[in-house]
Amino acid sequence: MGVKVREVYLWAVSSTTPPSVSSRFLGASAWMLGAKLLGAAAGFGLAWTVSRQEGPEAFGRFELGLTVLTIAAMLSRMGLDGVMVKWLAASGAKDESKVQRPLVFRALGVVFLASSVMAALLWRCSGPLAGWLGDAEAAPMWRLVACGIPCVALWGMASEMLRGLSFMRSHALAQQGLVTALAVFVLWLFRGGIFSAYAYAVVIAFAGTMALLTWALWSRNSERLATADNHEWGWRNMFQTGWPMLLGSAMFLVMSWTDTLLLGHFMEESQVGVYRVAFRLAALVTLVQAAVNSYAAPWFAQRHAIGDQAGLLQGLRQATKLNVAFSIPAFLVLAWFPEWMLGWFGSSFVAGVSCLRWLAAGQMVNALCGPVMYLLNMTGRERLAQRIVWAAAALNVGLNLWAIPRFGIVGAAAATAATMCLWNLAAAWAVHRTLGLSVWTVLTTPPAK
């Protein structure tokens, strides 16, 4: 068995993909990986600082706030972040870059209005939300979260637009992890509360990312954007493309955050804190995948726009190889030394050992399946991806509702890992059936020389 694992790993890091694909993936991914590594280190630094100084309850409260902020900002973007990645990449591949600036302005305007409405709704519902989560005195915290929704929504849009424009270095500088790094810096420098530190970090990130997007668009010519409903870049097409992406993203967030929200309802905030630390550690398995996928999405959109099936296969092969090469070692470390990893955050966090093993196993399957959901979304299969994610989200909610009251944080971890495995396998099968690209072939067969 050990020899077989060694053979798979050596194949994964071997250089068999054409240089034109390999070098672009590695070069762009290196910047993103650096940002992800910094973000992961900052995330653990933040968890360690808050947990050591204020205990798991404070960290659990912060994670609940971050959960609601993330969901509200995602809904405010209405799926237009995915549309911009796809359209900006496709317009560049078709030599129609003159439409890019008007597209950016249009999408930002829509998201600003939507995020303002979402912020007003959360402000109004801050009291009932605090009561549902069992902390009636937390209403002021939820009002602070509401104020951050427009900044986070527009910052996320600008980051994805930089990706669609292939400004990968700028995109790497506009990642969630760097906001966490800024929050840690502010927290250590001024010794304030975690919420105020994160609020300052969000404002700085928003201003910096918008400046980067302005710079990226500065040298591009512009032309009046056709608004006819039947036009490729028209309003109707924009929302028709964005709607399934929004539903897919919404259900994906349901899968990602259902466990946290339901734990906040059924369990104490200290249990939420233990679970979220285990979740962050398990995410190390797919750290490289997140970096690679940031470049893979616009690559898939470009190759699909010009009908390059071979380019799609090469991109899938390279992304999957990189995932395999780095995910297996991370998984083995987490599976063999969970007590040691969790013990860094305090003795109370060792209770999350079983959670960490379950979540790491789910992330390992995620890594082995590769960027299958990106392939579906960037090649016109958004509605198929939407159906897969909807089914998985419904299953995830049901499993968590059943498991958390019975098994606590271990039940949440097992339910989340099972759902993660199922949706990845379903998406891999859908890619094989609709695109003729098999993840299994990529994993087991070297490319033709």
Encode pLDDT of 187-226 as tens digits.
Answer: 777 766 778 888 888 898 899 889 988 888 876 665 555 4
Mean pLDDT, range 397-415, rounded to an integer: 93
Contact residues for 44 (Cβ-Cβ < 8 A; gap 6+): 280, 281, 344
Give pLDDT, residue 12.
43
Percent of the chain clearing pLDDT 90 (strictly above): 16
Least confident of 220-224, 253-257, 395-399: 220-224
Give pLDDT, residue 10.
42
Chain centroid to CA 448: 33
Percent of the chain clearing pLDDT 70 (strictly above): 79
Give pLDDT, residue 19.
43
**pLDDT value at 60 more than 90:** no
Mean pLDDT, range 322-331, rounded to an integer: 84
d(CA 328, CA 368): 9
Apex 157 CA angle, 369 and 323, nearest 5:
20
Give pLDDT, residue 29.
53
Q: Give Dmax over CA atoms of the chain in angstroms.
A: 65
Contact residues for 164 (Cβ-Cβ < 8 A; gap 6+): 84, 85, 86, 87, 88, 89, 298, 301
**pLDDT value at 378 more than 90:** no
**pLDDT value at 414 more than 90:** yes
3: pLDDT confidence band, cut at 50, 70 and 90?
very low
Give the Å distances, CA to CA, from 304 to 236, 240, 356, 419, 435: 22, 19, 38, 29, 10
**pLDDT value at 8 more than 50:** no
Helix (H) or strand (E) holding 364: helix 353-369
Helix (H) or strand (E) holding 330: helix 309-336
Give pLDDT, residue 98.
77
280: pLDDT confidence band, cut at 50, 70 and 90?
confident
Mean pLDDT value across the chain: 78
The pair of three-digit structure tokens given for residue 126, joined into one six-digit string: 């801050």
**Residue at 398: amino acid letter:** G
d(CA 226, CA 95): 16
The pair of three-digit structure tokens given for residue 407, joined into one six-digit string: 């098994």
**pLDDT value at 150 more than 90:** yes
Give pLDDT, residue 413.
93
**pLDDT value at 250 more than 80:** no
**Neighbouring C-alpha atoms within 13 Å toward the C-beta of 76:** 31
| Of 1-5, 280-284, 303-307, highest mean pLDDT | 280-284
438: pLDDT confidence band, cut at 50, 70 and 90?
confident
Give pLDDT, residue 422.
92
Mean pLDDT, range 257-262, rounded to an integer: 81
Mean pLDDT, range 326-338, rounded to an integer: 90
Give pLDDT, residue 288.
75
**pLDDT value at 22 more than 60:** no
Burial letters for 321-350: b for 16+ Cβ neighbours within 10 Å, e otherwise? bbbbbbbbebbebbeeebeebbeebbebbb
**Residue at 77: amino acid letter:** R
Between 439 and 367, name the one with better pLDDT. 367
pLDDT tens-digit map of 87-122: 887 777 777 777 788 888 888 999 999 999 999 999
Contact residues for 193 (Cβ-Cβ < 8 A; gap 6+): none
173: pLDDT confidence band, cut at 50, 70 and 90?
confident
**pLDDT value at 233 more than 70:** no
d(CA 207, CA 98): 25
Cα Rg of the chain, angstroms: 21
361: pLDDT confidence band, cut at 50, 70 and 90?
very high
Would you say 410 and 359 are in contact if contact means Cβ atoms under 8 Å apart? no
**pLDDT value at 358 more than 90:** yes
Give pLDDT, residue 219.
63
Mean pLDDT, range 138-153, rounded to an integer: 87
Give pLDDT, residue 443.
61
131: pLDDT confidence band, cut at 50, 70 and 90?
confident
Would you say 287 and 36 are in contact if contact means Cβ atoms under 8 Å apart? yes
